Chains A and B, each alone.
Chain A
Amino acid sequence: MDKESSSLNQYSSANAFKNADTGNNIVYDTQDLNLWYGQTHALKNIILPIYEQEVTAIIGPSGCGKSTYLKTLNRMVELVPGVRTSGTIKYRNKDILDKSFKVEELRTKVGMVFQKPNPFPKSIYDNIAYGPRIHGIRNKKVLDQIVEKSLRGAYIWDEVKDRLKENAYSLSGGQQQRICIARCLAIEPDVILMDEPTSALDPKSTLKVEELIEKLKKDYSIIIVTHNMQQAARISDKTAFFLNGEVIEYADTNFLFSTPKDKRTEDYITGRFG
Chain B
Amino acid sequence: MVAREQFQIELDKVKAMIIELARGTESLLRDAVKALYTADIELAKQVIAYDKELDKRDFEINEAAVLLIAKQQPVASDLRRLIVAIRISSDLERMGDNAKNIAKSTIHLGEKHGIQIHGAIEDMKDIAIRMIDLSVKAYENEDITLARKLAELDDLVDGMYSTVLRELLEETATNPEKIQHIMQMAFSGRYIERFGDHATNIGENIMYLVKGESFDLNE
Contact = CB atoms under 8 A, between A and B. Distances in A.
Given A258-B212, A259-B212, A233 B3 contact: no
Contacts of A273: 1-3
Given A266-B76, A271-B3, 4 more contacts: A266-B77, A270-B75, A271-B72, A272-B2
16 contacts: A230-B73, A258-B76, A258-B79, A258-B212, A259-B76, A259-B213, A269-B75, A270-B76, A271-B3, A271-B4, A271-B72, A272-B2, A272-B3, A273-B1, A273-B2, A274-B3
B7 interface: yes
A270 B78 contact: yes
Nearest to A265: B76
A230 B76 CA distance: 12
**Interface bracket on A:** 10 to 19
A273 B2 CA distance: 7
Give the 3 A-B residue pairs with the shortest CB-CB distance, closest first.
A259-B212, A271-B4, A270-B78
A229 interface: yes
Interface string B141-174: 0000000000000000000000000000000000
Nearest to A256: B76
A260 interface: yes
B74 interface: yes
A157 interface: no
Interface of A: 229-230, 233, 257-260, 266, 269-274
A257 B7 contact: no
A233 B75 contact: yes
Interface of B: 1-4, 7, 72-79, 212-213
A18 to B, nearest CB: 28
Contacts of B79: 258
A218 to B, nearest CB: 27
Contacts of B73: 230
A229 B77 CA distance: 15
Contacts of A269: 75-76
Contacts of B75: 229, 233, 257-258, 269-270
Given A258-B212, A259-B212, A272 B1 contact: yes
A257 B1 contact: no
A257 B213 CA distance: 14
B3 to A, nearest CB: 5
B5 to A, nearest CB: 10
A256 to B, nearest CB: 9
Given A258-B212, A259-B212, A271 B7 contact: yes
Contacts of B72: 271
Contact of A272 (B4, B212, B213): B4
A270 B74 contact: yes
A154 B67 CA distance: 36
A258 B79 CA distance: 8
Nearest to A269: B75
Among B74, B75, B79, residue most surrounded by chain A Cβ atoms (within 10 Å) = B75
Nearest to A272: B1
Contacts of A230: 73
Contacts of B76: 257-260, 266, 269-270
Contacts of A259: 76, 212-213
A272 B7 CA distance: 10
Contacts of A260: 76
Contact of A270 (B2, B77, B212, B213): B77
Contacts of B77: 266, 270
Nearest to B78: A270
Nearest to A260: B76
A51 B156 CA distance: 53
Contacts of A272: 1-4
A117 B103 CA distance: 68
Contacts of B74: 270
A259 B212 CA distance: 6
A236 to B, nearest CB: 14
Contacts of A233: 75
A257 B77 CA distance: 9
A49 to B, nearest CB: 23
A258 B75 CA distance: 6
B1 to A, nearest CB: 5
B6 to A, nearest CB: 11
A199 B79 CA distance: 25
A260 B75 CA distance: 10
A266 B74 CA distance: 11
